[in-house]
């Protein structure tokens, strides 16, 4: 199976007024196409930063990040935009819905950018909104939806085009446990039936349990992995064995 994500010695610094904060510290990560992986860790551990770099929304300070074999640092802004449009679906904790578009229009937005005919994209999105429990709400605007309903629209938008990769930042943070279970089942189905790769950032134990691979970050390092029951823990700063810390 081909690798869809590869990072090598990835670092990311944020600085202002001479004060530098290192969010990522030499992260090495490889994900094969078709994985269903969750990243967990305390707030500030680097999960969202890593997702943003993999998604081409941010640039690393050093090291490399590749998606489908392409080095993101060598891609132009236009190429990155095309990659995000055609290959990656995003689920943001803050929803990032367009306020002047209805639920249907938000969910079909990427399909419209891809040039999918109006009738086809509406049929696909209506079926998807029904699957995520929003039948009858297609023409409501984000302000007319609850937080959980807005998150369901965001998930529908991310998976509408069946991208190769979905990056999800806390996708179940604003929905109840029943809705979260249904959304996870839907995403597992897309993973298993369509081969879509999912990489989650999460604090949700339900997401961690559903994941086929669990990665734990702390202080910008990957400190622990559990892949198909094989557990490995190491501190990449010195190569010594490392005991995972409790999550916040």
Residue 1 is predicted with a pLDDT of: 54
> Among all chains, which residue has been given the structure tokens 């998606």?
67
Q: Best-predicted range by mean pLDDT among 51-55, 159-163, 177-181, 192-196?
A: 51-55
Residue 182 is predicted with a pLDDT of: 81
Residue 173 is predicted with a pLDDT of: 80
Encode pLDDT of 78-122 as tens digits: 999 999 999 999 998 888 999 999 999 999 999 999 999 999 999
Where does the pLDDT of residue 228 fall: very low under 50, low under 70, confident under 90, or very high at 90 and above?
A: low
Task: Name the pTM for this structure.
Answer: 0.85
Residue 244 is predicted with a pLDDT of: 36
Give the mean model confidence (pLDDT) for residues 64-86. Answer: 93
| Residue-range domains of the chain with CATH | 3-233 (3.40.50.300)
> Among all chains, which residue has been given the structure tokens 């999550």?
247
Encode pLDDT of 32-52 as tens digits: 999 999 999 998 899 999 999
What does the H/E/C string look like for the chain? CCEEEEEEEEEEEEEECCEEEEEEEEEEEEEECCCEEEEECCCCCCHHHHHHHHCCCCCCCEEEEEECCEEHHHCCHHHHHHHHHHHEEEECCCCCCCCCCCHHHHHCHHHHHCCCCHHHHHHHHHHHHHHCCCCCCCCCCHHHCCHHHHHHHHHHHHHCCCCCEEEEECCCCCCCHHHHHHHHHHHHHHHHHHCCEEEEECCCHHHHHHCCEEEEEECCEEEEEEECCEEEEECCCCCCECCCCCCC
Give the mean model confidence (pLDDT) for residues 21-42. Answer: 94
Number of other residues whose CB lies within 10 A of the CB of residue 21: 11
Does the pLDDT of residue 74 top 50, yes or no? yes
């Amino acid at each position: 199976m081909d690798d869809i994500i590869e990072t090598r010695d990835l670092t990311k610094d944020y600085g202002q007024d001479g004060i530098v904060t290192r969010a990522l510290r030499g992260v090495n990560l490889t994900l094969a196409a078709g994985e269903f992986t969750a990243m967990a860790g305390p707030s500030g551990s680097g999960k969202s930063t890593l997702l943003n770099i993999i998604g081409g929304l941010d640039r690393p300070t050093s090291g490399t990040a590749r998606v489908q074999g392409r080095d993101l640092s060598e891609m132009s802004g236009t190429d990155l935009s095309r990659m995000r449009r055609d290959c990656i679906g995003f689920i943001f904790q803050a929803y990032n819905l367009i306020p002047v578009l209805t639920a249907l229009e938000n969910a079909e937005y990427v399909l419209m950018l891809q040039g999918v005919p109006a009738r086809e994209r509406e049929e696909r999105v209506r079926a998807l909104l029904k699957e995520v429990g929003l039948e009858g709400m297609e023409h409501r605007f984000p302000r007319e939806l609850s937080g959980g309903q807005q998150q369901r629209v965001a998930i529908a938008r991310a998976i509408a085009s069946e991208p190769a990769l979905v990056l999800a930042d806390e996708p179940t943070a604003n929905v109840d446990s029943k809705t979260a279970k249904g959304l996870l089942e839907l995403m597992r189905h897309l993973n298993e039936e369509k081969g879509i790769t999912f990489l989650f950032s999460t604090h949700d134990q339900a997401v961690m349990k559903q994941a086929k691979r669990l990665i734990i970050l702390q202080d910008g390092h990957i400190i622990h992995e559990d892949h198909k029951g094989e557990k490995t823990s190491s501190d990449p700063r010195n190569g010594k064995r490392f005991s995972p810390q409790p999550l916040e």
